[in-house]
Structure 1
Amino acid sequence: MIEDMVRTWAPDDFWQVAQPLIPVPPPRPQGGGTPRASDRAVLAAIVYMVQAGCSWRTLPAAMFGTSRATVHRRFGEWTNAGLWERLHAAFLTRLNVVSEIDWSRAMVDSIAVRAEKRGMRRGQTRSTAANRAQRSTFSATAPVSRSRS
């Protein structure tokens, strides 16, 4: 059943593109410990989570033969290594080569492309923020002080 889940969420053609892009793990010290979880199983669990829209807490990682902690840790490692951008570019390139993309109908989605703060401006604009109101206890007279006699 585990192999079926892995092959369903990371099919062979997907895995052939993704496998060379996954960072090589650092060598582990000699000794005991559990064997490293399969990169393909972890990738399948991540794809499942994204498609199903579930949270880390509800991810059924055991169905992929791994743990939630492993999936979460590798997701962070792969994100820091830029795997998702490289994987996206590889699939776009692959689709373009087989003429599956009609670039004349492409558009930029504001969710996918981050807007730059303040954008490109020629000059500064006046602030539209409201002026601070005076305190209700404001007085033009000198403050009163009490001293002990």
Structure 2
Amino acid sequence: MAKPLLMDDLWERIKPLLPPVKRNPKGGRPRVPDRLALTGILFVARTGTAWELLPPELGCGSGMTCWRRLRDWQVAGVWQKVWKALLDELGL
């Protein structure tokens, strides 16, 4: 079995950095969990694959879902903190 892209201990460090989820009162599709979206983002960053070619087997939703989440986190000003936590984990 392959090693997960986002280990539990790293996720526990990153989770508090993310903005709270705002529920849509009108309903709609269930939101892809942040951890899965981040896994998709990391997969694209690691492999260089195009967003639209994100493998469905990862369970991250579509590449556009992951791309939008990355954009939302950038706009919210949290992506830099997440990226720093990832770099700290790598010792960079």
Q: Please tell me the TM-score bracket, short chain as reference.
A: 0.7 to 0.9
The alignment's TM-score, normalised by the length of structure 2, stands at 0.77
The alignment's TM-score, normalised by the length of structure 1, stands at 0.51
Runs ≥4 in structure 1, deviation > 4 angstroms?
none
Q: Within 5 A, what are the aligned runs for 1:25-104?
A: 25-31=21-27, 33-60=28-55, 62-65=56-59, 66-90=61-85
Aligned partner of 1:14 among 10, 16, 20? 10
Q: Structure with the greater relative contact order (CA < 8 A, sep ≥ 6): 1 or 2? A: 2
Structure 1: segments with no counterpart, 5+ residues: 96-100, 107-149
Percent sequence identity over matched residues?
33
What is the total number of aligned residue pairs between the two structures? 91
CA 1:43/1:91 → structure 2, altered by over 3 Å: closer, same or farther? Answer: closer
Q: Within 5 A, what are the aligned runs for 1:117-136?
A: none
CA 1:36/1:91 → structure 2, altered by over 3 Å: closer, same or farther? Answer: closer
- Rg (Cα) greater in structure: 1
Bigger helix fraction: 2
CA deviation after TM superposition for structure 1 residue 83, in Å: 2.2
